[in-house]
Amino acid sequence: MNSLPNMSNDIQKTSAQEQKSLRLELVNINKSYNSLKANDAIHLKVQAGQIHAILGENGAGKSTLMKIIYGATKADSGQIVWNGKEVLIDSPSAARKLGIGMVYQHFSLFETMTVAENILLGLDEKIDLKTLNAKIVEVSEQYGLPVDPRREVYSLSVGERQRVEIIRCLLQNPSLLILDEPTSVLTPQAVKQLFKTLRLLASQGVSILYISHKLHEIKELCDEATILRNGKVTGHVLPAEKNTAELAKLMIGRDLPSYEHPEYLGSAETLFQVKQLNYETDDPFGVSLSEINLSLKAGEILGIAGISGNGQAELLSLLSGEQTCKKDQIFILNQDISELTAGKRRDLGLGFVPEERLGRGAVPKMPLTQNMLLTAFRQGLNKFGFIQFKKVVSLTQQCIEKFSVKASGPQAEARSLSGGNLQKFIVGREILQQPKVLIIAQPTWGVDVGASMFIRQTLIDLSRQGVAILVISEELEELFEISDQICVLAAGKLSAPVATQQTNAEQIGLLMSGIQVLPTSAYATPTANHVQAQ
């Protein structure tokens, strides 16, 4: 059990039995990036066979700490004690030799290679493919992670890809497994299976460090949690003894606001339509779209659920204007925009927030002022072809203040912001342009609970002001919290929309995984019985 900071010296002493079962101990770990103190005198203890959560807001220092444990980042000072002995972990290879494995939130797999070939690249030992294939099958069956070692990665679902990453770690017999946001792209059914696997591993003595912003998962799965805030450990708790609101307050230091979600009363005004949209991709790893139909009315939020790789990227490209299509397929206010570029669509009132924050949503090395100018120059920020710098700075400062963006100021580089704060800036930048229609992808992916609630409430408030909003997300909880209607994109086909109150996450999860299939329909809203009957 971890010691609380205010306990007496006698209580702080670890018993002989605790010391024997102690898998990992961090002592006074410090890491700074220029003036930013990412980790400040971190102390952490993880027992053998324990599932231990690391909780904190974006920018709290979680990722830096995990990279130090895995050898991807070197601490400025401090000690790492592994199974009772101080060790130096100066590379991921050194970490793996000790028995530490890590599965990152963003997978590192080669699309054109098989499962076995990808796993082979991550192994430190030499082994032939035939033997490796047999080991993969053995481990996948033992831990309930079914995957065919001969399949090429591009043909795998996101859940299957995650299994590949976990199996790659398990083949090296880890004593500690680090998981970063492991359920962010999984269906409810896949989450249940993952939890079974993690509990089995823990029962065999494997320690697990679990990073997630989903507090209900922490409460259900984890034995203990360490709280980080501003790079410091601020507490240790037993999640089972706390409710999610209490855990959130420990994370962010204040009570979470409650959602205000006024009922959608309906509108006669259709702002955005897609009619019989077909798209044949020439990308061998892409997904073709078939007969996509959707309709968005003023004041409405329509959520599109789906597992990554089912046509979301292609659909977003077509809707935003990055990729044009044949005429008479996409409309804003009954005006055909199918053949218009992204800039022309923005001129007509279309706002767009891409999934990738850095690189597409914002240019990493550019200051916030220039990132503001990239899409908001239509807002009177240039005159006779000359940039009005004072107005750019003013609008950027307005965005920072109105959307509670933590940044050193308008001239801060985009890459200096945490993921949650950069997302708030990008969403704020689009809202300040007063769009008629807003398309947003993965609005709170990897964003802490406080920033998530802020962004979600912002979208709800914006919709009730008459803006039509289309949200594409793999977070079912998010879609059910903010959407008025929800549909599913699977294998390039879009199901008919269903009123959110008339369905549930289990039913939508089955549609996402392809176990159940809904007939596509232009704009009809089926009843709950219709969904259950499939």
Cβ partners under 8 Å of residue 527, min gap 6: 502
The token pair at 173 is 């017999």
The residues near 258 (Cβ < 8 Å, ≥ 6 apart) are none
For residues 268 and 462, is the Cβ–Cβ distance under 8 A?
no
CATH number of the domain to which 473 belongs: 3.40.50.300
Give the pLDDT of residue 233. Answer: 93
**Please, are residues 435 and 462 in contact by the beta-carbon 8 Å criterion?**
no
What is the model's pTM? Answer: 0.73
Shared domain for 430 and 450, answered yes or no, is: no
| Residue 200 confidence (pLDDT) | 92
Domain check: are 334 and 381 in the same one? no
Within a domain: residue 468? yes
Distance CA 136, CA 383 (A): 63
Same domain, yes or no, for 400 and 268? no
- Residue that is last in its domain, among 405, 434, 463: 434
Angle between helices 505-513 and 188-203 (to 10 degrees): 90
Structural domain contains residue 530: yes
The string of pLDDT tens digits covering residues 231-275 is: 999 989 999 999 888 888 888 777 766 777 888 777 778 999 999
Distance in angstroms (rounded) separating the CA atoms of residues 399 and 432: 7
Residues 329 and 456 in one domain: yes
Same domain, yes or no: 314 and 364:
no
Mean pLDDT by 10 residues, the chain (534 residues): 36 43 94 87 95 88 91 94 94 92 82 91 84 91 86 80 86 90 76 89 94 89 93 92 87 74 80 94 86 94 88 92 93 94 93 86 92 86 80 92 88 85 90 93 80 88 94 88 93 92 86 64 39 32
- Domain of 318 in residue numbering reads as 263-349+444-534
**What's the pLDDT score for residue 460?**
93
In-domain check, residue 186: no
What's the pLDDT at 520? 52
Claim to verify: residue 428 and residue 461 sit in the same structural domain:
no
Q: Is 529 in the same domain as 462?
A: yes
Last residue of a domain, one of 434, 462, 486: 434
Residues 448 and 500 in one domain: yes
pLDDT at 141: 86
Rounded Cα gap, residues 67 and 60, in angstroms: 14
- Kindly state whether residue 498 falls inside one of the protein's structural domains: yes
Q: Of 64, 61, 24, 30, nearest to 44 (Cα)?
A: 24
At 175-197, the pLDDT tens digits run 999 998 888 767 777 788 889 98
Q: In terms of domains, do 328 and 384 share one?
A: no
Query: Are 382 and 340 found together in one domain?
Result: no
Final residue before a domain boundary, out of 411, 434, 457: 434
* In the block, residue with structure tokens 């089955």: 510
How many folded domains does the chain comprise? 2
Residues 456, 310, single domain; the answer is yes
Establish if 56 belongs to a structural domain.
no
pLDDT of residue 190: 78
Q: Looking at the domain assignment, is residue 483 inside a domain? A: yes
Residue 417: inside a domain: yes
Residue 533 lies in a domain: yes
What is the SS3 assignment for 214? coil
Specify the 3-state DSSP secondary structure of 4. coil
Report how far apart, in Å, the C-alpha atoms of 471 and of each of 50, 300, 356 are.
37, 11, 14
Contact 453, 254 (CB under 8 A): no
129 phi and psi, to 5 degrees? -60, -35
Task: Please indicate, yes or no, whether residues 391 and 469 belong to a single structural domain of this protein.
Answer: no
